[in-house]
Structure 1
Amino acid sequence: MSPFWSLLLVWLLAAIAMTAAWRWQKTRDNAGIVDVVWACGVGGAAMLVALLGDGAPLPRILLAVLGGLWGLRLATHLWKRVRGEDEDGRYAYLRDHWNGDQAKFFLFFQAQALLIVLFAVPFVAVAANPVSSLGLLAAIVVWLISVGGEAVADRQLADFRADPANKGRTCREGFWRYSRHPNYFFEWLHWLTYVVLAAGSPLWWLSLAGPVVMYLFLRYVSGIPYTEQQALRSRGEDYRAYQRSTPMLFPWFPKSDDPGSSA
């Protein structure tokens, strides 16, 4: 199947899934489900595009396995939060800002369906790769480091938040000492997997959309800006001190002028 028709099918299935997710949040007042379905959608897109591609079998198999496992891990982690906690502060803020307008929420959910298509573009490059030997081991190594690192960062934050003594405080433990958003850093790093996996593909340049678009969204659109605004609302000066001492995205050693950095 051509890349165009593959991506069109991805969009159709994503739009249906996001409509179901919108109905779910409508009855439960919890829009966090959008992140769960997005992760499932992107992981599912990797498997679907791999199935429909006409490239060499091995890159397509790795695309399906690595992309599918990434989506499953992230969706499972997010579902535990959505199921067990109140609505994420970012979405609660939107609910108040939009006065609960469900038409705006529906458009928001459908925009996430389009994002699934956008992030499926690198998969097309991999699925068209006629070469089965270039970069496969390197791609696996990048995937293991990035997905493993994100899982560790998520667990470190979850353990910190589970301690009632940390209410109102900022996590500075583990990876969170060296980056304010280590989970986002490893998420960005994960998209280099498909750049490496697409080496030799006539559509290789499409694989660059993954890390480039993910960086732009995390840095300027829906990731860091919203997360930090919510952190400032909930943690105030403690988070401002964290901002002054700790790199935003790419890990590095923190400055020593943060009184909470030794906590």
Structure 2
Amino acid sequence: MNALPWVALYALLIMAWGWAWQRRHRNIGIVDVLWAKGVAASALILALLGDGAALPRVALAVLGGLWGGRLALHLWSRVRREAEDGRYRYLRDHWQSHQGKIFGFFIAQALLIVLFSLPFVAVASNDSPAAAGWVAAAAAVWLLSVGGEALADHQLAGFRADPANKGRTCRTGLWRYSRHPNYFFEWLHWFTYVLLAVGSPLGWLAWTGPVLMYLFLRYLSGIPFTEKQALRSRGEDYRDYQRSTPMFFPWFPRSSKEHLP
């Protein structure tokens, strides 16, 4: 826990920088890049300063750092090439470009970096001598989840790159089985740290990762905002997709005439 102030300081600094960047470029989307980068950095900071055994701490640094680094680079590739995401354009219009409100939004994201670093605290304090087996299991979950998220991102990017698909909904690859496969695999990824924290005196903290990520994705900042924007931009095509394709957990699609709960 003693390293959390360093995580908080880093998060506040990068988000303050991000707010200044969006003032120049009028693109709030940089906040997602910095969130991923900040959480990855928190894994490295806590692994370095933790007092647990070396193996889980090294695994935390490698797996947490690579996950966040990949996600940050993927998001940055979109932010630097594309116009401001519709979700953030809506927020900017709703707030009438009020920089005080936008700054508050960035600082709130800094606090979320600290919140999502709590599972890393549990891993960094794990001094269990039986950690090797759990590290192997964690690495398997990490490979499945990060690989699935990267594949979903790649499939969507390829679909969006084709001008013929403008205004249409991606229904290919993993997107045939879930409306948000990238979110599903992002959520699954957080079980990596539950496994790395087995035997830790603070092991219960690791469960905050998958629990909070599910709540945020399903009910707060993920799916609700994304689907509202999709309905605004794609209308009936996306409504048909909603009727036929599961929202979060991947499963076989139904006929759009059937009702999906």
Same fold? TM cut 0.5: yes
Return the letter of the residue paired with 2:137: A
Return the letter of the residue paired with 2:157: A
CA distance in 1, matches of 2:224, 2:145: 22
Query: How far apart are 1:5 and its partner, in Å?
Result: 2.4
Is 1:7 paired with 2:27? no
CA distance in 2, matches of 1:85, 1:133: 43
2:117 is paired with a residue whose SS is helix
Partner of 1:142: 141
Pick from 28, 31, 34 the counterpart of residue 31 of structure 1. Answer: 28
1:84 is paired with a residue whose SS is coil
Cα deviation per residue 1:123-180 (whole Å; 9 max; x = unaligned)? 0000010123241110000000000000000000000000011010000000000000
Percentage of identical aligned residues: 69
Partner of 2:107: 110
TM value normalised by structure 1: 0.96
TM value normalised by structure 2: 0.97
Query: How many pairs are equivalent?
Result: 256
CA distance in 2, matches of 1:218, 1:99: 26
Partner of 1:119: 116
Query: How far apart are 1:12 and its partner, in Å?
Result: 1.0
Q: Is the 8 A contact 2:241 2:256 kept in 1?
A: no
Query: How far apart are 1:8 and its partner, in Å?
Result: 1.6
Partner of 1:44: 41
Q: Is the 8 A contact 1:195 1:204 kept in 2?
A: yes
Partner of 1:66: 63
Pick from 85, 94, 98 the counterpart of residue 95 of structure 2. Answer: 98
Structure 2 stretches lacking a partner, 5+ long: none
CA distance in 1, matches of 2:228, 2:112: 22
Q: After TM superposition, where is structure 1 displaced by more than 6 Å over at least 4 residues in a row?
A: none
Partner of 1:85: 82
CA distance in 2, matches of 1:67, 1:136: 13
Tell me the C-alpha RMSD between the 2 structures: 1.0
Query: How far apart are 1:7 and its partner, in Å?
Result: 1.3
Cα deviation per residue 1:82-126 (whole Å; 9 max; x = unaligned)? 000000000000010000000000000000000000000000000
Q: Is the 8 A contact 1:134 1:197 kept in 2?
A: no
CA distance in 2, matches of 1:219, 1:171: 20
Structure 1 stretches lacking a partner, 5+ long: 259-263
